Amino acid sequence: MNDPRGQLEIKLGEQLNALLSASHALNVRAAARFDSTLQAAAFHIVRWLYSYGPTSAAALAESTAMDRSAVSRLVKQLEALGYVRKDASPDDGRGVVLSLTEPGQQRMIGALKEKESTFFDRISSWSDAELQDFIRMLRHFNGFN
């Protein structure tokens, strides 16, 4: 292929693939550090609750693109281990809101430290201008402009 734009798009695809692969590997390590007995999907639920806060099981299933029955099964496991709790919805006493317990939050913080240190090591030598440019480009790529 002699098309310069096509070559650039291929190189971009290679770098995006490398980023996604590295991110996946870091997530697997963070999940194992959180609790090696859990499936990765359970860690995904805990990570979502840590990032976005309490929610219903239905909203959690939709937000994580998981089947409701899978979310229910994983939440029961996380609840039994003391990482997640169910409370009555303040808006509707019949509804249930899922949230992280204090032990769940503390384990998540510990699990994310390795991931964060790897990330911060990679950008530690960047200037503020380089970091701002990278953030601006990622925001644009992700459609947040």
Tens digit of each residue's pLDDT (9 = 90 or more) over 36-66: 999 989 999 999 999 999 999 999 999 999 9
Burial letters for 109-143: b for 16+ Cβ neighbours within 10 Å, e otherwise? eebbeebeeeeeeeeeeeeeeeeeeeeeeeeeeee
Residue 50's pLDDT is what? 97
| CATH number of residue 100's parent domain | 1.10.10.10
Residue 92's pLDDT is what? 80
The domain total for the chain is: 1
What percentage of the chain has pLDDT greater than the value 70? 99
Q: What is the mean pLDDT of the chain?
A: 93
Band (pLDDT 50/70/90 cuts) for residue 93 is confident
Of how many residues is the chain composed? 145
Residue 91's pLDDT is what? 82
Residue 2's pLDDT is what? 75
**Mean pLDDT value of segment 115-142:** 93
Residue 84 has pLDDT above 90, yes or no: yes
Q: Which domain holds residue 61?
A: 4-141
Residue 1's pLDDT is what? 57
Bigger pLDDT: 1 or 114? 114
On whether the CB atoms of residues 96 and 89 are closer than 8 A, the answer is yes
Residue 95's pLDDT is what? 87
